[in-house]
A and B are shown apart, each in its own frame.
Chain A
Amino acid sequence: MNAAATAAKVDYNAMDDEAFRREARAFFENEYPENLRFLPRRLSWVESKPWWLSLSKKGWLAPNWPVEHGGMGLEPGKLIIYWEETERAGIGRMPDQGVTMVGPTLIRFGNEAQRAQYLPKILSGDNVWCQGYSEPNAGSDLASLRTEAVLDGDHYVINGSKIWTSMAHHATNIYVLVRTDKAVKQQRGISFLLVDMKTPGITFRTIRNIAGHEEFCQVFFDNVCTHKDNLVGKLNEGWTIAKGLLTFERLNIGSPRRPLQAFEQLDTLARAQKLFDDPGFVDRYTQLKMDLNDLGSLYQRYVDKARRSEALGPDISMLKVFAMDTYQKLAELLLEAGAEYGAYADEVMLADEKIDLMTPFYTSRPGTIYGGSNEIQRNILSKYVLQLPN
């Protein structure tokens, strides 16, 4: 039987919050692979696939998609519970661009044929998507992107290159922002295209991140043809599409549970090394613990807003700024509290406990860079919220 059809029988939104939470908790606790819990890094596609398929089978892969497209159709309140339980169970971040970005984009801006072609393959795990936005010379200033697409008969011909494309080496498909009109204001000449990674003319090189892992790629487009049916929305509307997506998904990045894994390492370290005997440590530990609690309060304010289906404005940028700064401080305290062990590159055994001091440090760094750097978020806050003169 079709998985989506099974899921459609249950109206999760009609369920009592606590009942839904119990079901989510039981499912995540029983079914998620034990060895992949609370990993301080993202999951590779190979690691993800079994869990991807279990979720898919239960109809739980795409909590944010409408039921008719094979999602759970959760309203904000329920979706937040779903996320909370995901984090509570220590479920890793999968190469989830298909679910988080492509699905919602096609549902909102795509056409029937595109939805029929792509959505089922995301749910089945046959298509793994990556995001081709950034370019070597277009990072924070994304609108200046130069990879271009020219319509030639039935195909768009793409030339240029994308960079920092996470997991592109494991992806089957890429969605790209391309320049389709050079004559107009930058934002007005950008389109949103879907491309098969196997198309002739696509090559990529993997890039090692600072921790030595192959996490992202540079993707090159040399006369790459994609059928004109792969244009999402109208020509030159790509910017609106890209920006329109980042609505309340952005709540997720401000979740106070994200740094909890690092906090657990800190607790273990503190007990193993008897750090609670040091008032200086206790002071800094408590400060971060309370910062995290306070982040929780700020987060809750936005959660409540989302539950009331109110629009989330530019002020939500503050959640990302404070969440990511706090996460980095926590990872830094972990290294400092480790004293000499704080320079150990690999796990250490202390009082019979394995502690990984270094990974949270590396994991916490890019959060202030991608998805709009903390500097850019502060610019948004000062311009649109405080309305300071430009």
Chain B
Amino acid sequence: MAQADLNEHRSMLSNSVTNFARGVDLARVRKLRDTNAECDRAVWTQMAELGWLGVLAPEACGGMGLKLGDMAIVAQGLARALVPEPLTAAAVLAARVLADSNNDTLKSKLLEGLVSGEMLPAVAWQEEAGSLDVNNINVQATPAGDGFRVNGSKRFIMGATSAEGFIVSAKSAHGMQLLWIPRDTAGATVQFDRLADNRQAATLTLANVSVPKTHIINSGDIAAGSLARAIDHASAIIGAELCGIMSRSLEITLEYLKTRVQFGKAIGSFQALQHRAVDLYIQQELSSAVLGDCLAVLDGEPDAKTRSAAASRIKARCADAALLITRQSIQMHGAIGYTEDCDVGLYVKRAMTLAAWLGNGHTHRRRYAKTEILEGAL
């Protein structure tokens, strides 16, 4: 696409997100505490109709075949409004894995379903906290019939509350298998843990689950490579969500600094708070600069090492900046910031969930050190 078209296109995307976000009611986000309704399928369908679930999916599957830079606009805008639907989990993580599949029948069913909003798949790959290594898994796929029998369990699965099934990575004698396991498959059980923002992380336990050949998404090195790339891309888009979270939280706080009066003046006139606000603003701008820069690198489809380094730069900066900004938003609000009614609390909580998902700042710096610093130093 020519640059002018691209800009035009991105501003349209951005407008549609802004319009949608304007109609979002935070009361629903607050109520998540008492419900399990993080994915409202009516909202989800609307998001599909706006084309957002298909931003990255190829046109052949009903998608738009656009870039991460486009996806980031949608993710950032929806995060600003705290939309709880699992956009990144489905439209990035799952969509990327499915797009690489050479099982055309399954791919068209799942990916077209995902894009149209009718089918919600959740990726179940991680088993150990703090690990970004797709091969660090123990779920086993042993040959059975024309497919596999699968045993083991997966953790930290996002977007699973109303998912129709799981994309599961497993070890086999022939390397990794990426398998489609519908939710109601015999032997598959799902259990949920509440997260800081009242969304849910699922744990999937598989006991002698049968997977037919027709449910194999990908195998061997292609499977592992595809999953690793999907995780890096999802980490980058979580970075975009974190940018949305931090910018809205800072905006609310700056507004408060201008209006809250103590000692006869707006508290924003106290230099201690002015300098703090400036430092937070610098963190916000650093985050968006890193995001823009590294998304361009990722959209250039570099080698795996460059790709992981770019994703880690985004996630490390955006996670830590969002945590800092949202926590300081509480502080600068005083007691009211410590209440459930104050919106900044919702941003603190979403920041915690997003920061921890697919590697927090520390995990990403550790990975970056390993490939970018320690290996080079040898």
User: A residues bordering B, Cβ < 8 Å?
Assistant: 134, 137-141, 144, 163-164, 207-210, 212, 216, 273, 278, 280-281, 332, 335-346, 348, 358, 365-366, 368-370, 373-375, 378-379
Contacts and interface: CB of A to CB of B under 8 A. Distances in A.
Contacts of B153: none
Contacts of B194: 344-346
B201 A340 contact: yes
A339 B130 contact: yes
A335 B130 contact: no
Contacts of B357: 340, 343
Instruction: Determine which residue in B155, B273, B345, B362 has the highest number of CB atoms from chain A within 10 A of its CB, and name it.
Output: B362
Nearest to B276: A375
Contact of A342 (B197, B341, B360): B360
Given A134-B335, A139-B334, A212-B33, A340 B340 contact: no
A348 B155 CA distance: 13
A140 B262 CA distance: 7
A311 B155 CA distance: 56
Chain B interface extent, by class: 35 or more
Contacts of B261: 137
B1 interface: no
A184 B357 CA distance: 57
Interface string B24-52: 00000000010000000000000000000
A370 B335 contact: yes
Nearest to B323: A332
B136 interface: no
8 contacts: A144-B264, A207-B341, A280-B365, A336-B361, A339-B360, A342-B355, A345-B193, A373-B334
A365 B126 CA distance: 31
Contacts of B263: 140-141, 144
Q: Which of A207, A278, A339, A348 has the most CB of B within 10 A?
A: A339
Given A280-B362, A340-B126, A369-B331, 4 more contacts: A210-B339, A210-B348, A338-B129, A344-B195
Nearest to B33: A212
A369 B195 contact: no
B353 A343 contact: yes
A374 B334 CA distance: 11
Interface in B202-257: none
Which 10 A-B pairs give the minimum distances between C-beta atoms?
Answer: A339-B130, A343-B356, A208-B340, A339-B129, A141-B262, A345-B194, A210-B345, A340-B129, A340-B156, A343-B353
A164 B335 contact: yes
Contacts of B72: none
B196 interface: yes
B331 A368 contact: yes
B103 interface: no
A365 B342 CA distance: 15
A345 B195 contact: yes
B334 A336 contact: no
A273 B129 contact: yes
A163 B262 CA distance: 15
A273 B331 CA distance: 31
Interface string B339-373: 11110010010001101110111110110000000
A209 B273 contact: no
B198 interface: yes
A343 B196 contact: yes
Contacts of B129: 273, 338-341
A340 B335 contact: no
A199 to B, nearest CB: 25
A343 to B, nearest CB: 4
A340 B339 contact: no
A301 B293 CA distance: 51
Contacts of B327: 332, 365
Given A343-B201, A369-B331, A369-B334, A208 B193 contact: no
Nearest to A208: B340
Given A339-B360, A343-B353, A210 B262 contact: no
Contacts of B33: 212
Contacts of A341: 129, 356
A366 B338 contact: yes
A375 B272 contact: yes
A390 B342 CA distance: 33
Interface centre among B341, B352, B359, B366 (most CB of A within 10 A): B352
B343 to A, nearest CB: 11
Given A339-B129, A339-B130, A339-B363, A207 B339 contact: yes
Contacts of B264: 141, 144
Contacts of A335: 352, 356
